[in-house]
Amino acid sequence: MVDLDLQKLVGFWREVGLASDQNLALKAPKRVEGLFLTVSGSDLTVKAAYNNSGSCETEKIVGSEIDISGKFAFPGHREIHVLDTDYSGYAILRVSLRWQGRDFHVFKYFTRSLEDDDPLGFWRFRELTADTGLYLAARHGECAKLLKQELI
């Protein structure tokens, strides 16, 4: 993305799918269901709702934009890079993290809606991840709904 408008990213996003060439990334017991993003200057605050073996948990982390527009560094050797978005329907992120001395990269596909998968966004997601390998569709969960309602 060139010249990402951070203010237009603000708000609720539901994880619809992910792609990775590393099986471990797809089998995490703690699965993101939704994000609520806020912006202050070049800082991005992410409130993530997780489903952890059937119960909802949230985590709030703040990252700072680094080297290129749309790339953010977070504590714990984590980075988020916004690869593509139309701001109103879908966003495709590349999440990178270092765990047990290894680098992991996961492509994540988000929509604004709790129900719809945004056909254009899904097409772009498949196009960007065509040679990645493993795919997994996200579950429709209560944690994303609660996050959108800001109850958790």
Q: Where are the strands (E) in 66-118, listed by range?
A: 71-74, 78-85, 90-99, 102-111
In a domain, 73, yes or no: yes
- Strand 11-20 relative to strand 134-137: parallel, antiparallel, unpaired? antiparallel
In a domain, 1, yes or no: no
> Token pair 């765990």 is at which residue?
99
- Tens digit of pLDDT for each residue in 13-24? 999 988 888 776
In a domain, 85, yes or no: yes
- Give the separation between CA 131 and CA 20, rounded to whole angstroms: 10
In a domain, 133, yes or no: yes
- The total of other beta-carbon atoms located within 10 Å of residue 105's CB is 16
Residue 82 belongs to a domain with what CATH number?
Answer: 2.40.128.20
In a domain, 16, yes or no: yes
Could you tell me the residue range of the domain that residue 22 belongs to?
Answer: 6-148
Domain count, the chain: 1
- Tens digit of pLDDT for each residue in 28-84? 777 889 999 999 988 999 999 998 888 899 999 999 999 888 899 999 889 999 999
Closest CA to 62 of 34, 37, 84, 43: 43
- Tens digit of pLDDT for each residue in 78-115? 999 999 999 999 999 999 988 778 888 889 999 999 88
